[in-house]
């Protein structure tokens, strides 16, 4: 019986037409190291190195996504080996220093296996052939071919890395962590090259991934909105059974090579969502670039409603679209945290009666904070008619402060909540929006059917707890 191997054809392969490729040259150079590429790797390297009649790369931008431990880094090494053999300068970036450093070690070994010699100290008057230098400073590795000057630099990504330097090829490893700030800096380093190419490779983002560029690139390719761009991926379209052996083979091209059923069976599959992402290549349609991940929010969930040790602060937000109004409550807890809970979010057409009724019945309310021009004046009049105290209307500076303080306390772990599904949905699907011209920010929803008013009402309630001083009750001493 023939050995079973993984699916060698990508689930998605979006490729420009071409008749010529330098991929065969790269594969020949790779085979000279004694290694044999897997069929799927041959497909990718041929597509990546396709050229037009002028010898320019057909795919100026390349992206590919493959589940963990399938050998996606080996494709990068093939590309880098060809660059060194043919006079190109490459910048290889990664999210983690250990990843970029390991890539440099892998490339250096290929050179040695191909018959190159490492020169520790270069002598001015000596001529070198098939020799290279290897700067091994951790996080700043560089491999240079002595007779041509071709080189590959290995760096950990920052928002400033690569400034002032020029390269022919930019490689973005661990692309699921590639941020817009990093892209805005790095994209220009290949601008001066006569034949530039940028390659992004990684896995689908998880709930803790910070990158936004990789999923945006995928979406543009799949929707046909990009030019001169290549995309390939092995994936499933929805959550699947983690024990489905056929899916192991369908989404992992290295099955039957460096991966086998025994290794996969031994993997921890307790987190089914994460496993679908990491092993099956699932691209979730939510939470891909949320400013706050679902995990980060859920880590603050309480087992039970905590004891209150302060007055209650009410936050009310009328949505920017004028369609909804949300109300939330916040108070200090006995363990020094601030508890948040959404009271409700309703269509403004239902009126403010539900809000006024709640405020009249609630006890120990320290303040009511209202934001949103669409309905705040009407609510103020109704509160006055009901004998309630006038609400507080935050100005722009206070809105900025409220968002900043909320973010600070969220990431310091001093918030808590009961995990209301509606709140989890909006929190894990939000992104920052600028307020003012001095770096202030607020939040906006990533989806048109989810109203950020819920989140804003909680932010104002939280701000009130942190900023509004409670009136001390007088103590009568006889």
Burial of 162 (0-12, 13-18, 19+ CB in 10 A): buried
CA atoms in the 13 A half-sphere facing the CB of 210: 10
DSSP assignment, residue 322?
Answer: S
294-467 domain in CATH 3.30.70.1350? Answer: no
Q: pLDDT at position 160, please? A: 59
For domain 12-280, which CATH number applies: 1.10.3470, 3.40.50, 3.30.70, 1.10.1740?
3.40.50
The phi and psi torsions of 343 (rounded to 5 degrees) equal -85, -40
Q: pLDDT at position 435, please? A: 80
Q: pLDDT at position 32, please? A: 96
Q: pLDDT at position 210, please? A: 75
Contact 421, 342 (CB under 8 A): no
Angle at which helices 72-85 and 23-31 cross, to 10°: 100
Three-class SS of residue 68? coil
Q: pLDDT at position 288, please? A: 46
Q: Report which of 231, 211, 205 is spatially closest to residue 285, judged by C-alpha positions.
A: 205
CA distance 78 to 81: 5
C-alpha pair distances (Å), 458 with each of 224, 373, 437, 442, 469: 39, 18, 24, 13, 18
pTM of the entire predicted model = 0.63
- How is the chain split into domains, by residue range? 12-280, 294-467
> For residue 152, what is the enclosing H or E element?
strand 151-156
Q: pLDDT at position 476, please? A: 54
Give a three-class secondary structure readout of 208-251: CCCCCHHHHHHHHHHCCCCCCEEEEECCCCCCCCCCCHHHHHHH
CA distance 417 to 301: 5
List the chain pLDDT tens, one digit each, 478 residues.
688 999 999 999 999 999 999 999 999 999 999 999 999 999 999 999 999 999 999 999 999 999 999 999 999 999 999 999 999 999 999 988 889 999 999 999 999 999 999 999 998 888 889 999 999 988 889 999 999 999 999 998 875 555 568 999 999 999 999 988 899 889 999 999 999 999 999 999 876 677 889 999 998 998 888 889 999 999 998 889 999 999 999 999 999 999 999 999 999 998 888 899 999 999 875 444 567 888 889 999 999 999 999 999 999 999 877 788 999 999 999 999 999 999 999 988 889 999 999 999 999 999 999 998 667 788 999 999 999 999 999 998 899 889 888 988 898 899 999 999 889 989 988 888 878 655 678 888 877 677 789 999 999 999 999 988 755 555 555 4
């Amino acid at each position: 019986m023939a050995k079973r191997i993984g699916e060698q054809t990508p689930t998605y392969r979006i490729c420009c037409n071409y008749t010529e490729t330098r991929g065969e040259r790269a594969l020949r150079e790779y085979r000279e190291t004694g290694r044999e590429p897997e069929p799927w790797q041959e497909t990718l390297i041929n597509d990546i190195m396709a050229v037009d009649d002028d010898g320019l790369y057909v795919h100026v931008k390349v992206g590919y996504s493959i589940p963990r431990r399938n050998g996606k880094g080996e494709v990068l090494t093939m590309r880098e080996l060809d660059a060194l053999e043919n006079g190109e300068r490459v910048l290889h970036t990664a999210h983690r220093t250990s990843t970029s450093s390991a890539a440099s070690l892998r490339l250096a070994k290929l050179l040695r296996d191909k018959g190159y010699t490492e020169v520790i100290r270069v002598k001015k008057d000596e001529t070198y052939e098939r020799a290279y230098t290897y700067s091994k400073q951790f996080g700043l590795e560089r491999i240079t071919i002595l007779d041509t000057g071709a080189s590959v630099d290995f760096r950990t990504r920052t928002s400033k890395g690569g400034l002032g330097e020029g390269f022919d090829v930019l490689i973005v490893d661990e692309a699921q962590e590639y941020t817009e700030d990093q892209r805005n800096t790095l994209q220009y380093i290949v601008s001066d090259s006569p034949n530039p190419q940028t390659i992004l490779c990684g896995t689908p983002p998880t709930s803790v991934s910070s990158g936004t560029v990789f999923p945006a690139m995928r979406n543009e390719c799949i929707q046909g909105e990009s030019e001169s761009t290549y995309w390939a991926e092995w994936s499933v379209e929805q959550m699947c059974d983690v024990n489905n052996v056929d899916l192991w083979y369908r989404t992992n091209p290295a099955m039957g090579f460096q991966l086998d059923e025994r290794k996969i069976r031994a993997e921890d599959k307790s987190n089914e969502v994460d496993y679908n992402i990491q092993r099956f290549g699932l691209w979730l349609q939510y939470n891909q670039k949320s400013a706050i991940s679902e995990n980060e929010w859920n880590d603050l969930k309480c087992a039970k409603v905590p004891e209150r040790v302060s007055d209650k602060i009410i936050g009310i937000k009328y949505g920017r679209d004028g369609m909804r109004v949300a109300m939330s409550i916040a108070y200090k807890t006995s363990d020094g945290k601030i508890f948040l809970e959404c009271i409700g979010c309703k269509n403004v057409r239902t009126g403010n009666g539900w809000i006024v009724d709640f405020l009249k019945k609630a006890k120990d309310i320290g303040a009511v904070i209202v934001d949103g021009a669409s309905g705040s004046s009407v609510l103020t009049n109704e509160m006055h008619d009901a004998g309630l105290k006038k609400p507080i209307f935050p100005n722009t500076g206070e809105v900025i402060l409220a968002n900043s303080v909320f973010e600070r306390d969220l990431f310091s772990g001093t918030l808590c909540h009961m995990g209301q599904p509606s709140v989890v949905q909006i929190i894990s699907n939000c992104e920052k929006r600028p307020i003012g011209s001095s770096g202030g920010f607020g939040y906006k929803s990533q989806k048109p059917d989810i109203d950020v008013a819920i989140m804003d009402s909680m932010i104002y309630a939280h701000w009130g707890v942190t900023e509004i001083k409670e009136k001390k009750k007088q103590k009568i001493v006889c």
